[in-house]
């Protein structure tokens, strides 16, 4: 252009910056914005800065965005609502909730409420899991829609844009993005748990559990050319807790048609409102707030806002967190409206059914899933099959997982070891054939783990060791324990006490008391502190070797470690005394247990009464 003496105008300048940003050359774009403005006398217009800030948000580069804001400040370039939208996207990409609060405070100093920008703030807050603030902004949107303050129009291409004039405002206060860095931010992605003005906790008194569900399909990029969202801190809060109606001063509004709005004008507003309702509904799924989700559905009905397929799917996922029957009712409603449930919806309700051990319903829902990249609903079904002792059903589900090419994870293998690690039915002793079969199954499961690059966890190793113990394979049990110790040692992890307890229990049940005692000493020598279950297992070992003195020594160690005898401990000690025919001391322990309000095993009284009968101690037995 210089060789041909072609002039450089503002439009050409914008296109060059846009090309550099699309290519990811933020440093070159930043230098060009600074260089051309200083040397050629062509100062960038606001769309240039907005384009650059948009690229910073896509690449999550807060440092370049901060340089751009400082340059805008030096050149007295104001911000418009698109600028704030780009900053919001950057805050979300940095997972920084405090930055969203700062953007909001800076924005409301210069702009009045706008539904389109409020929608952007709702989008940001829901993705940062601040359900309280997102809900409040949603209620502001509803108020503006009912008042008729809807500056939204639809272009010929179907895009929404603000109908009011978007005038850039120069901010004298510096909005620095230095706080976008996570290491300096103490408010990164918290979930506001305290009660809000909208009484969120009155709807659900449940704890928040983070979820790994995908973000909703609503795209803030559709609002890039929209107005920024004003927040009037004193805006009237909509109270939807009372019958789900909107309290608008002295009148109660139950539908959009009652407020005399032109249908053609209100349609874009309803479209934006539905997006935000969907976003907040998705946040209810993440925060496990089924009560609030029901209130949102009721409010949509009251203002005449028809729920979309996305709304119903998210509502079904939210309410099924409480009970699977509620999710099934929503699925029935969707079927009546010819709405197809999404795969994540079917998966969530299936998990709820599996937790309730409703295997028939869970299997029907899983069969309807066409594409599920995550194995968690199938893992829940396998866990339910394990609880109901139905390995054949689990085998069919494994075949379906293989057909759908679903990659198993460590939780899958945990259930496989528990389901198929041993071949005998519960309470049956293993024989030579069953042990050979069990060893083959364990080898096959471990081979599949290696094939899929999955390493053992403590839970999977514990289930494997339990399976070996149930089959009575003590030699293999100790070999695998040594393998587990080496494996976890080299990965800088330690075997937990529950895993050792599982091995100790198997050894004691097999009456391998010497091996159990040696393992207990090894645990103590390795610096592992036994818990109450460990001591109870070793006291039971003393019953096998008929040594009350060793049991008393273990009780003494147990008390010094801060644990007290409970039902299991008392039961084992009394059995040892009865084996030694020390009837008087057994009665004393019974009295002590009653005085400490310990609920002893009812079956324990049978041998006590039997010995009392043989010794003609009816009075003592009666007491």
Please report the pLDDT score of residue 138 as a whole number: 93
Domain range annotation of the chain: 565-623
Q: State the burial class of residue 533 (Cβ atoms within 10 Å of its Cβ: 0-12, 13-18, 19+).
A: middle
Please report the pLDDT score of residue 127 as a whole number: 93
What CA–CA distance (Å, rounded) separates 58 from 52?
10
Residues 228, 50 contacting (CB under 8 angstroms)? no
Please report the pLDDT score of residue 70 as a whole number: 87
Q: Worst-scoring range by mean pLDDT, 102-106, 159-163, 425-429?
A: 159-163
What CA–CA distance (Å, rounded) separates 458 from 499?
7
Q: Are strands 251-253 and 246-248 parallel, antiparallel or unpaired?
A: antiparallel
Reported residue count of the chain is 623
Q: With a cut of 60, say whether residue 596 has pLDDT above it.
A: yes
Residue 425, classed as helix, strand or coil, is coil
Please report the pLDDT score of residue 617 as a whole number: 54
DSSP secondary-structure letter at 567? H
Q: State the burial class of residue 176 (Cβ atoms within 10 Å of its Cβ: 0-12, 13-18, 19+).
A: middle
The full 3-state SS of 138-191, as one line of letters, equals HHHHHHHHHHCCCCEEECCCCCEEECCCCCCECCCCCCCCHHHCHHHCCCCCCC
334 Cα distance to chain centroid = 26
Q: Tokens 């009251």 label which residue?
A: 302
Q: Cα angle vertex 607, ends 604, 609, to 5°?
A: 100
Query: Which residues, other chains included, contact 603 with Cβ-Cβ below 8 Å and sequence gap of 6+?
Result: none
| H helix or E strand, kind and range, residue 169 | none
192's tokens:
């506001």
What CA–CA distance (Å, rounded) separates 623 from 620?
5
202's tokens:
């009155």
Q: With a cut of 50, say whether residue 224 has pLDDT above it.
A: no
- Comparing C-alpha atoms, which of 15, 19, 110, 32 is closest to residue 68? 32
What CA–CA distance (Å, rounded) separates 566 from 56?
61
Q: Give how far Cα 3 sits from Cα of 9, 37, 372, 454, 459, Å.
A: 16, 20, 58, 61, 71
pLDDT (tens digit, 9 = 90+) per residue, 3-21?
A: 887 777 778 888 988 899 9
Q: How confident is the model at residue 39 (pLDDT cuts 50, 70, 90)?
A: low
271's tokens:
């479209």
Please report the pLDDT score of residue 533 as a whole number: 92
Q: Worst-scoring range by mean pLDDT, 83-87, 200-204, 324-328, 563-567?
A: 200-204
What CA–CA distance (Å, rounded) separates 55 from 59?
6
Q: Tokens 């806002």 label which residue?
A: 305
Q: With a cut of 90, say whether residue 354 has pLDDT above it.
A: yes
Q: With a cut of 70, say whether residue 241 has pLDDT above it.
A: no
Q: Would the pTM of this model clear 0.75, i.e. be above it? A: no
357 Cα distance to chain centroid = 21
What values do phi and psi take at 165, rounded to 5?
A: -70, 130
Please report the pLDDT score of residue 46 as a whole number: 86
Please report the pLDDT score of residue 72 as a whole number: 86
Taking the CB of residue 434, how many other CB atoms lie within 10 A of it? 18
Q: With a cut of 70, say whether residue 577 has pLDDT above it.
A: yes
Q: Tokens 């609030």 label which residue?
A: 292
- Comparing C-alpha atoms, which of 519, 573, 506 is closest to residue 546? 573
b/e per residue 360-382 (b: at least 16 CB within 10 A): ebbbebbeebeebebbbbbbbbb
Helix axis angle for 432-451 and 410-420, nearest 10°, is 170
Please report the pLDDT score of residue 537 as a whole number: 93
Q: Worst-scoring range by mean pLDDT, 59-68, 107-116, 557-566?
A: 107-116
284's tokens:
């209810």
pLDDT (tens digit, 9 = 90+) per residue, 412-425?
A: 999 999 999 887 65
Average pLDDT over residues 356-368: 93
- Round the average pLDDT of the chain to a whole number and report it: 78
Task: Select the more confidently predicted residue: 25 or 237.
Answer: 25
Please report the pLDDT score of residue 166 as a whole number: 58
Q: Tokens 């599996």 label which residue?
A: 354
What CA–CA distance (Å, rounded) separates 307 from 41?
53
490 Cα distance to chain centroid = 30
Please report the pLDDT score of residue 152 as a whole number: 63
As a whole-number percent, the residues of the chain with pLDDT over 70 amount to: 77
- Comparing C-alpha atoms, which of 226, 83, 224, 205 is closest to residue 141? 226
Please report the pLDDT score of residue 618 as a whole number: 52
């Amino acid at each position: 252009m210089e060789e041909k003496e072609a002039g450089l105008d503002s439009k050409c300048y914008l296109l060059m910056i846009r090309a550099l940003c699309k290519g990811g050359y933020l440093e070159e774009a930043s230098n060009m914005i600074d260089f051309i403005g200083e040397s050629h006398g062509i100062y960038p217009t606001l769309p240039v800065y907005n384009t650059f800030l948009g690229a910073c948000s896509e690449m999550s580069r807060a440092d370049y965005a901060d340089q751009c804001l400082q340059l805008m400040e030096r050149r007295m370039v104001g911000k418009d609502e698109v600028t704030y939208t780009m900053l919001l996207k950057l805050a979300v990409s940095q997972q920084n909730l405090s930055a969203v609060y700062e953007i909001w405070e800076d924005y409301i100093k210069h702009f009045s409420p706008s539904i389109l920008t409020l929608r952007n703030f709702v989008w940001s807050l829901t993705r940062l899991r601040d359900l309280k603030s997102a809900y409040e902004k949603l209620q502001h949107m509803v108020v503006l829609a009912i008042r008729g303050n809807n500056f939204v129009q639809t272009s010929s291409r179907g895009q929404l844009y603000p109908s009011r004039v978007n005038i850039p405002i120069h901010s004298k206060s510096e909005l620095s993005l230095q706080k976008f860095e996570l290491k300096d931010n103490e408010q990164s992605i918290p979930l506001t748990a305290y009660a809000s003005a909208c009484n969120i906790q009155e709807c659900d008194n449940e704890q928040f559990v983070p979820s790994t569900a995908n973000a909703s399909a609503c795209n803030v990029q559709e609002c890039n050319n929209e107005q920024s969202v004003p927040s009037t801190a004193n805006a009237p809060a909509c109270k939807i807790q009372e019958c789900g109606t909107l309290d608008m001063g002295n009148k109660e509004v139950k539908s959009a048609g009652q407020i005399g709005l032109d249908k053609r004008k209100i349609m874009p507003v309803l479209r934006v409102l539905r997006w935000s309702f969907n976003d907040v509904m998705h946040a209810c799924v993440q925060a496990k707030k089924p009560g609030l989700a029901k209130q949102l559905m009721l409010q949509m009905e009251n203002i005449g806002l028809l729920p979309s397929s996305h709304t119903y799917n998210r509502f079904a996922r939210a309410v099924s967190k409480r009970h699977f029957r509620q999710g099934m009712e929503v699925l029935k409603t969707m079927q009546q409206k010819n709405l197809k449930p999404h795969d994540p919806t079917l998966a969530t309700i299936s998990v709820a059914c599996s937790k309730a051990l409703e295997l028939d319903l869970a299997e029907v829902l899983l069969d309807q899933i066409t594409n599920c990249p995550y194995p968690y609903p199938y893992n829940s079904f396998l866990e339910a099959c394990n609880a109901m002792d139905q390995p054949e059903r689990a085998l069919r589900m494994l075949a379906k997982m293989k057909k759908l090419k679903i990659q198993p994870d460590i939780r899958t293998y945990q259930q496989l070891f528990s389901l198929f690690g041993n071949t005998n039915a519960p309470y049956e002793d293993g024989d030579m054939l069953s042990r050979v079969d069990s060893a083959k199954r364990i080898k096959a499961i471990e081979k599949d783990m290696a094939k899929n690059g999955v390493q053992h966890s403590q839970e999977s190793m514990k289930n494997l060791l339990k399976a070996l113990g149930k089959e009575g394979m003590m030699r293999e049990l100790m070999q695998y324990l040594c393998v587990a110790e080496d494996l976890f040692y080299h990965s800088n992890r330690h075997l937990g006490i529950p895993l050792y307890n599982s091995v100790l229990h198997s050894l004691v049940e097999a009456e391998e008391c010497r091996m159990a005692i040696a393992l207990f000493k090894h645990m103590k020598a390795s610096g592992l502190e036994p818990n109450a279950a460990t001591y109870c297992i070793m006291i039971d070992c003393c019953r096998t070797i008929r040594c009350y003195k060793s049991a008393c020594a273990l009780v003494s160690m147990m008390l010094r470690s801060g644990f007290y005898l409970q039902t299991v401990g008392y039961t084992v000690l009394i059995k040892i005394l009865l084996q030694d025919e020390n009837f008087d001391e057994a009665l004393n322990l019974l009295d002590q247990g009653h005085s400490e309000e310990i609920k002893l095993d009812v079956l324990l009284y049978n041998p006590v009464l039997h010995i009392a009968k043989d010794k003609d101690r009816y009075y003592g037995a009666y007491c």
